[in-house]
């Protein structure tokens, strides 16, 4: 909702609300959650984190780069329906696990 207000992108939000579900039933209630477009944006931004590309970095450097972004996403998207956001933030755990497997040979088997 905050992103809609800041970027003045009300048309996308209104279409999301009025679209209804896959069975053609109209809008009966509203559960604000992260949009597909925003979730994709999060995955792209995590993929672009330079610290995760290089294996000679330490976890502290990765956290220094990721933490402000994660705090922002949580403050923007987790106000009402945080469990939906948590599904998308699992991508960060996957990327960290891949980084750790490249860095530490003993983790490659798990």
Residue 52 in this model has a pLDDT that exceeds 90 = no
N-to-C CA span, the chain: 39
Percent of the chain at pLDDT > 70 equals: 76
What digits encode the pLDDT tens for the residues 15-32? 666 655 455 555 556 667
User: Is residue 76 very low, low, confident or very high in pLDDT (cuts 50, 70, 90)?
Assistant: confident
Can you tell me the distance from the alpha carbon of 10 to that of 97, in angstroms, rounded to the nearest whole number? Answer: 37
pLDDT, average across residues 1-12: 70
Which SS3 state, helix, strand or coil, does residue 95 take?
helix
* Lookup: tokens for 7: 């970027």
Residue of 8, 28, 9 whose CA lies nearest to 19: 28
pLDDT at residue 94 in the model = 92
pLDDT at residue 45 in the model = 92
pLDDT at residue 44 in the model = 93
Q: What is the mean pLDDT of the chain?
A: 80
Residue 106 DSSP label: G
User: Is residue 1 very low, low, confident or very high in pLDDT (cuts 50, 70, 90)?
Assistant: low
Which SS3 state, helix, strand or coil, does residue 29 take?
coil
């Amino acid at each position: 909702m905050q992103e809609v207000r800041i970027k003045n992108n009300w048309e996308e939000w209104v279409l999301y609300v009025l679209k209804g579900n896959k069975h053609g039933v109209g809008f009966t209630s509203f559960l604000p959650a992260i949009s597909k477009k925003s979730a994709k944006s999060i995955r792209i931004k995590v993929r672009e984190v330079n610290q995760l590309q290089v294996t000679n970095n330490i976890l502290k450097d990765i956290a220094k780069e990721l933490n402000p972004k994660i705090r922002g996403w949580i403050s923007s998207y987790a106000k009402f329906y945080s469990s939906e956001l948590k599904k998308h933030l699992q991508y960060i755990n996957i990327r960290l696990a891949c980084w750790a497997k490249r860095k530490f040979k003993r983790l490659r088997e798990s």
